[in-house]
Structure 1
């Protein structure tokens, strides 16, 4: 897995499309309002972030697009210098997938999206056991494949898929998913999913790296942070990127946004990594997709 860095970008990983995805991006979940989004985007660009992760259900695609249009020139950057991810809402799963993706493009005010994901394996309004879910996923993927062929979605992928969902997709897809984005932190190491991603040459990406803030107070995390003279957040993010797993910490605080970017000038020891990974117990802070058929 190749990594590169430059004065203008954070280290990145290579996708199977040939594009590079930054190892660090700003997660935009619960980041609402034009002023808050602009402030966070400004702080992120200043701190070296070059990736932004939104979604239809976050309700901030339009604000992200406007903020980037206004702020990129301030930093001597263009659209091509940033990596934008968004996601198909569960309400658009199936027949409405094409319209949903095009609406994301329209809200962002962009000609293309660098990475577009199916956000959830289920369909809004259907029970998780509803046998229509697999068919809807297949329809959504076909729509994303078509938009990928048109160049409107540079890379396509999935989020919150289980190993079973991944095998189902790999058996039928024409375009292999470039990325799987799931919850990943020391309490949920996702060993089976990571093996599946390696088998299928799919890039594994993390969200909820800080355990919704709860992991910041974990005694082991705090001890490692103190020994490295770093913050618990930096240690948790470093634990992932040291395994070549891209991270998407979310914050609206410019100070924390800058602090979270300070993860590329130090390394955790093998002992540190082992102590953190030993915390694994399959604990999820977010939704569990395992019941979605």
Structure 2
């Protein structure tokens, strides 16, 4: 990764691009090839998948076939995947290897524990905590072997992250959580800043709900940008990486145009003031 201007430095010493392509719900090899091709052409160098997305094979294949077309090598892109909730605990090591195999990679740049709970367990079951610890030990082993260049977590709350920071041998490099103007996550961001964990956003558009928010529309109109660009720029201007997803090449291109404009401090404050703790995705706060 050579473009340090548009990336963040992880605690591993590696650079992670501020802009990545999210691939949740992106299915079918033709669709994935088209989208990845558009993303590479638009300058995306980070691709985010997960075991539960059921597209690791296709994403890996698309990158292998398309990188040469764009004059790129494997080391020019940053690839993230995640451990599924069904594989927490005893099955974590096997699942880690499966993601490597399905992506067809010798190494994954970033591998995350996708969720603090275990599929099939009640949210209050104390085994959730034990399984998280066992999963993290598996990720640490793959990190030690160089198979995962960085490891981290997703959807962890302050409590989950503090628990991990006390017990881990390898500190998490990234926390990926829902983040947008209605869910500013101040306490989590402060903890990440204190402990050197990169805070990364998903669902920057609030699953689309924020695209019609009057306050966001007003900011977008005032600066002559799309609503999606404004919401994404709000995050990257705070040095928070984003993972917009779309299967439409024109929108992939539009979402990637974040680094040739800047929001005023007044507009940044207007967006931040929308914070009301609203989640549009999953709520991990009750997971033991």
Q: Which residue number in structure 1 is paired with residue 150 of structure 2?
A: 155
Task: Report the Cα offset of residue 242 of structure 1.
Answer: 0.2
2:11 to 16, 20, 25: 16
Cα distance in 1 between the residues matched to 2:208 and 2:129: 34
Q: What is the SS of the residue equivalent to 2:89?
A: coil
Cα distance in 1 between the residues matched to 2:269 and 2:5: 25
1:110 to 99, 102, 105: 105
- Runs (4+) of structure 1 moved beyond 2 Å? 6-10
2:165 to 164, 167, 170: 170
Q: Provide the alpha-carbon RMSD of the alignment.
A: 1.1
Contact 1:233 1:260 in 2 (8 A): yes
Please show how residues 25-104 of structure 1 align to structure 2 within 5 Å: 25-104=20-99
Cα distance in 2 between the residues matched to 1:22 and 1:285: 25
Q: Does residue 179 in structure 1 map to residue 155 in structure 2?
A: no
Structure 1: 5+ residue runs without aligned partners?
Answer: 1-5
Q: Does residue 250 in structure 1 map to residue 262 in structure 2?
A: no
User: CA 1:42–1:34 in 2, change beyond 3 Å: closer, same or farther?
Assistant: same
2:191 to 189, 196, 202: 196
Q: Deviation string for 1:192-237 (max 9, x for gaps)? A: 1001101211000000000111101101110110111000000000
Provide the TM-score with structure 2 as the length reference: 0.99
Q: Which residue number in structure 2 is paired with residue 261 of structure 1?
A: 256
Structure 2: 5+ residue runs without aligned partners?
Answer: none
Provide the TM-score with structure 1 as the length reference: 0.97
User: CA 1:49–1:9 in 2, change beyond 3 Å: closer, same or farther?
Assistant: farther
What number of residue pairs does the alignment pair up?
288
Q: Which residue number in structure 2 is paired with residue 290 of structure 1?
A: 285
